[in-house]
Structure formats: structure tokens, C-alpha cells
Structure 1
């Protein structure tokens, strides 16, 4: 038992590596601060194109969504970071991570938004247009707010997945939370830094998980 506690819950080692993991957490938050809002906005644009009256826009969104939902994000990340340099395009680890996650998550956000937009009946659009609103105003003031409310639990659930997805950034040596914890583990020959990193993720995501559960119960009711 003492050996187990020493290997996984060594408080002395956790205290030593705490500043390093805080720096890693800050990098994780920086990635999330870019990927989540930009990915959500790009997903909304994709959804509007997928549900527009333009046949060309609908056709173009299909391969985009299918491609980036089907390709594993880790494969996409490695391709962007290690494959594009062969074409003369070299990106930093931070740029590679943000680009890969934006492409992946905009496709998933797009499908969630699309489901929300399609849940709004055509009658509401026609009623809004009859009051003098343009098509753009109808979407902004009538359709999109209701669509977002209908799929809000799914949006939050996908956002949680985005935060957890940032752990993949360690494969391109981006010093985010998991990479920092793994470096600390290799130096201390102890798994306690990984346990501390898991605790950081728990503290960061648990309130959102509880909020998601509450929203799901409210929607079900």
C-alpha cells in the first residue's frame, strides 16, 4: 500500500512539478480559447451552408464535413505537422494543433448546428419574413437562437471533448498539460505527475459536466 501511494500520490513530487503543470494547463487553455470559439463559429457557417437554398453550397459542405469527421484527429494533426513540410509548409506545434483541431471540430460543430437549424419549422421562417425581416435577419434573430437552444447540451458535450482532445497535442511536443506531466514523470520516475494532471482536468471539466447533466434533464423534462 505504501509503495502504491508513493508511486501515484507522492505529495512531495506533486509539489515540485506543480509549477510545470500549471504552465502546461495555461497552454491547454490557450489552445481551447482559440479552437472552441473559432471552431464553433466556423461550424455555424458550415451548418448555414449545409441548410442554405444554394445547391452548390450544400454540395461543397458534404465532403468537408465527411472528411474531417471521418479522419482521426491524431492522424490529421500528424499530417499537418509532419506531412505539410514536404510541400514547403512548415507550421509551429501551436499552429499545427490549432489548425488540426479547428478543421476537426468545425465539422462536428457544423453537424450539431445543422440538426438545430433543421429542427426549426419553415413556418417560423415564413412568419419572420412576412414581418419584413431579410433572410439574414431571420437567421440571426429568429432561427439561430432557437436552434442553439435546442442543441445546447450537444454543443457543451462537444466542447468538453475539445478540451480533452488537446491532450493529443503532446505528440507534436506542444507543452500542454499532458506533455508537461509526462515530462515530469520521465524526470521523477514516478506516476504522481500524471495523477496531478488528471486532477487538473477533473477540476477544469467537472463543473461543465454537471452543467451538461442539468441541461439534459431540463431538456428531457
Structure 2
């Protein structure tokens, strides 16, 4: 049988197919771009007139802050849940499993609505022993503000997904390293802190970057809580001037721009991690 590169005829067909696909895609893109630029109903002048307005920029800053804080909550709590899932204590493992099952199994939009309606269930938040007079009692509306409800809804939901990501990273670390460390007398928590988690980062970081980009877009759901994020700020503006589509495009362009910047950062980070893996000596090279 003949082995090696494809026949010249096959290569020519592949080459023609690539050019044909390129031409079709180019025609479609030109048609879409022409339609969007010539259709006066898009009102591009209104889109860009509001693009850097103070109200939109304030909403953008609120969105960025909400995204970062929610991701920090999700990552920290996710690491704790992942450690609990891997614990030999069945009670801790069961609690973590129920948490992940509950928050992954219900829509984040519903969770946001429930946190926003928290005061309807508990008008006051009481701190104290059961069946005794509470030591501290505060109004739920003073504690669960729209901002706090957004943090709780997004952060607690994200923790369930981060727990599974971190657990997968921990499982990817060679178990022999933990056994060797335990043989040297290192306690379990110190082994996690010094050996397991640092190596798990190589597996955890790429999907965590994807979660950050997803969190940016998911944060638009907090508009249901009347929190002045980017989308809600746009909604307040088009409620006054009735320019719904241009303001939605303005918000979408900002989401697209920030997501693109985060994607560039993610690409650079993954390349750096891949380069460090390539530069790391193989087993036996340093012997």
C-alpha cells in the first residue's frame, strides 16, 4: 500500500474546498456588515453617543466590581468545598455534596430572585441561641441590599462550579506526592497548602479564566434586583428616551470589549503555563 502524503488530486480538492469556504464566509460577513451599517434603525449615532456617557461608565464599573467580588467569593468557597469533598470525614463530604447539588441544580436567575426576596421570608435577621431571646436583631433589608443579594446569588452559585473545577485539579496531582509528604510527617492541611494546591493550579487556572468571562456576562442578570450594573443603567436610560435597541447595543459592545480583553489575558496566561510545563525537566533528566 502507498503511504505518505495524500494524492495530488486530493490536495487540490482540499485546497479548492478551503477557498470555497473562505469565499462563502466572506460574502456572508460583507452582507451582514452592510446590512448593519446601512440600516438606519440601528441608530449608530445614538449607540456611540451613549457609549462613554457617565451613566454607562458608572454601570460598567459596578459590573466589573460585582464580577471580581463574586469570583473571589466563588473561588475561596469553591476551594473549601473541594477540600471538604475530598475529606475522609463523611459528614463534611456530604455537606459539600448537598451544597454543590443544590446550587448547580437550580438556575442562578432563580437564586438571585430568592436572595432579592429574602426579607419576605425573614423580615429580621436574629443572632442568638434557639428558643431564647436573640442577642442581635437587624432588619433584613438593611443587610441584604441589592448589592449584597447580587454577591450572594452570583458568588454562592459560582462556588459550586469552582468546587468541581478545583476537585478535578486536585485529582490530577499524583497521589504519590501526598503519600511521600505524609510519610515525612506533614499534616494533611499542610500537604494541601504546600504541595497539592500549588500543582493543581496548572489544571485549575484555564477553566477558572473561562468562569471569570462567564461571570461577567452572567452578572447582567442582577438587573432584576435593580442593582445599577451596566445593563440596568442602559435600561434606565432607554426608559427615558425609548431608544431600546441602541442602548442594548451599547451595553453589548461593552460586554464584548471586556470579554475580549479577558480572553486575551486568558490566552497569555495559558501560554505561560504551557511554556513552564515545557521548560520543566522530565523525570530522570536531573539524575
TM-score, length-normalised on structure 2?
Answer: 0.70
Name the counterpart of 2:251. 197
Name the counterpart of 1:61. 96
CA offset at residue 154 of structure 1?
0.9
Q: Relative contact order: is structure 1 or structure 2 higher (C-alpha 8 Å, sep ≥ 6)?
A: 1
Name the counterpart of 1:47. 82
Name the counterpart of 1:139. 192
Name the counterpart of 2:44. 9
Q: Which runs of 5+ in 1 are unaligned?
A: none
Name the counterpart of 1:107. 160
CA offset at residue 132 of structure 1?
3.9
Name the counterpart of 2:59. 24
Cα deviation per residue 1:175-197 (whole Å; 9 max; x = unaligned)? 10000112222222222222221
1:133 alignment partner, SS class: coil
1:76 partnered with 2:130: no
Which deviates more from structure 2 when the two are superposed, residues 97-106 or residues 193-202? 193-202
CA contact (8 A) 1:17 1:193 kept: no
CA offset at residue 218 of structure 1?
4.2
Instruction: Provide closer, same or farther for how the CA distance between residues 16 and 100 of structure 1 changes in structure 2, counting only shifts above 3 A.
Output: closer
Name the counterpart of 2:171. 118
Structure with the higher fraction of residues in helix conformation = 1
Name the counterpart of 1:207. 261
2:186 alignment partner, SS class: coil
Cα deviation per residue 1:67-86 (whole Å; 9 max; x = unaligned)? 00111011011111125423
CA contact (8 A) 2:59 2:228 kept: yes
Instruction: Provide closer, same or farther for how the CA distance between residues 104 and 147 of structure 1 changes in structure 2, counting only shifts above 3 A.
Output: same
CA offset at residue 212 of structure 1?
3.4
1:99 alignment partner, SS class: helix
Q: Distance in 2 between matches of 1:124 and 1:200?
A: 45
Instruction: Provide closer, same or farther for how the CA distance between residues 179 and 15 of structure 1 changes in structure 2, counting only shifts above 3 A.
Output: closer
Which deviates more from structure 2 when the two are superposed, residues 66-75 or residues 127-136? 127-136
1:93 partnered with 2:146: yes
Q: Give aligned pairs, total.
A: 221
Cα deviation per residue 1:134-183 (whole Å; 9 max; x = unaligned)? 22221111100111211211111111111111100101110100001122
Instruction: Provide closer, same or farther for how the CA distance between residues 200 and 139 of structure 1 changes in structure 2, counting only shifts above 3 A.
Output: same
Name the counterpart of 1:177. 230
The RMSD of aligned alpha carbons is 2.5
Q: Determine which structure has more spread, i.e. the larger CA radius of gyration.
A: 2
Which deviates more from structure 2 when the two are superposed, residues 77-86 or residues 62-71? 77-86
